[in-house]
Amino acid sequence: MPKNIQRKSNSFVLRFLFSVFCLLYSALSALPFTAEASIFSRQDQVLVRVFHSPTCKACHKVIQDIIPSIAKKYGGKVRWEYLDITDGIHLRDFVDLEQKSGRRLGTPTILIGDKVLVGVTEAADSLDQLILEQLSSGQKQAMALGEGGVNLLERFRSFGPLAVIGAGLVDGFNPCAFTVIVFFISFLTLMGYKRREMALIGFFYIVAVFLTYLALGLGFFKALYTMKGFYAVTKSVYLAIGSLSIFLGVLAVKDYIIFKRTGNTDAMALQLPRAIKNKIHSIVGEYYRKDRMGRKKAFFSLALSALIVGFMISILEAVCTGQLYLPTIVFVLKEGTLRAKALFYLIIYNIMFILPLVFILIAALGGATSKQFEVYARKNLGVIKLAMAAVFLALGIVLLKGI
């Protein structure tokens, strides 16, 4: 076959195959992806709107653990909309919903018709039932939002410093952050660290929490929360720390039983072996005999470890704010107008957010380092072991419940 005819033939075949591909693609595109999608129009579907924040662990729990099974159950009968309140348009709708519902909203919030569910518990208990009621009643009219023209800048101007201070304090009661700092102080006390080292660890841990939340407010690390595996990592960390706390609680109970039976402390599990104790004492003694450069190096290592742990815990346990102050402040920061005031409020919010942590640190340091407490602990070792067991078991249950 001549080459020019062969080229024309090849060209014709390619054009033919391309045309067939286009026809098939058009035909497939016209087909519904599922049978349910072809049966139910948008008007026939129940609309479920989920207001969430990418940094909110509770939101991830609702979206990834609760909703999928319900969505699978009802299929195309339900239409799901996920509205990120870090977007200005969705935040306006969220503020409008709070005004219309008369409830104080937080993330996550779910809207079905005119019914509002706030938080993981309400979603788990009532979401399925509300969808069923909507389908049974035939009333699928969704609440209109955003028609009132909510002005977020005017709302921000109405904020006072006291309101922002109160919001920061309320959101600052963070069980995970409390758990870690109590765990730090308990562990460092067991390891024989001095008050200065424990204060250093606590101080830099709190600084890391403050700076990380400030960075989150300024929009850093947002891409991190959109990664598919991020929520799985968070659950794994909670599982590990929670399991460790339960394990330590069980060991403390075992120590209490051993001490009550024998009065001997040598067989206790929650203490260091004698060889390691002696090694630590020699290292600590060597540390205090080091020159100034050696001390600076040790200081840097302690500070760096506290900063890293504080950063990681803050990223994994980003705040699920129960109020709209923080999202509004962050929105105004993006807009440019009143940016200086918004940054000032963000700093105030974060200072108040870490204040409970400061109180926890002071209380822990006071108990761990006071001479009176040391004397009491020696005389009442059984009581101390039971208290340790209660604390570790409680913290473990709280963490595992949050998974």
- What pLDDT was estimated at residue 72? 92
**HSE-up of 168 (CA within 13 Å, CB side)?**
24
- What pLDDT was estimated at residue 13? 41
- What pLDDT was estimated at residue 34? 39
Q: For the chain, give the longest Cα–Cα distance.
A: 105
DSSP secondary structure string for all residues of 13-77: HHHHHHHHHHHHHHHHHHS-SSHHHHH--TTTSEEEEEEE-TT-HHHHHIIIIIHHHHHHHHGGG
Q: Quick one: how far is CA 263 from the chain centroid? A: 44
DSSP state at residue 141: P
Q: In the numeric block, which tokens belong to residue 134?
A: 């909507």
Q: Give whole-number Cα distances, 142 to 49, 148, 149, 203, 274, in Å.
A: 9, 16, 18, 49, 69
- What pLDDT was estimated at residue 33? 36
Instruction: Yes or no: say if 53 and 322 are a contact pair by the CB < 8 Å rule.
Output: no
Provide the pairing of β-strand 78-84 with 46-52: parallel
Q: In the numeric block, which tokens belong to residue 397?
A: 């249950």
Phi-psi label, residue 366: left if phi above 0, alpha if psi -120 to 50, beta otherwise:
alpha
Instruction: Yes or no: say if 200 and 303 are a contact pair by the CB < 8 Å rule.
Output: yes
> Which amino acid, 344?
F
pTM for this structure?
Answer: 0.56
> Which amino acid, 389?
A
What distance in Å separates the CA atoms of residue 396 and residue 176, rounded to the nearest whole number?
10
Q: Which residues of the chain have pLDDT under 70?
A: 1-44, 139-141, 146-153, 174-180, 183-184, 186-193, 219-235, 237-238, 241, 263-299, 316-337, 367-381, 384, 399, 402-403
- Give me the long-range contacts of 356-360 (CB less than 8 A, separation at least 24): 356/169, 356/172, 356/173, 356/174, 356/178, 357/172, 357/174, 357/177, 357/178, 357/181, 357/206, 357/209, 358/206, 360/178, 360/181, 360/182
- What pLDDT was estimated at residue 8? 45
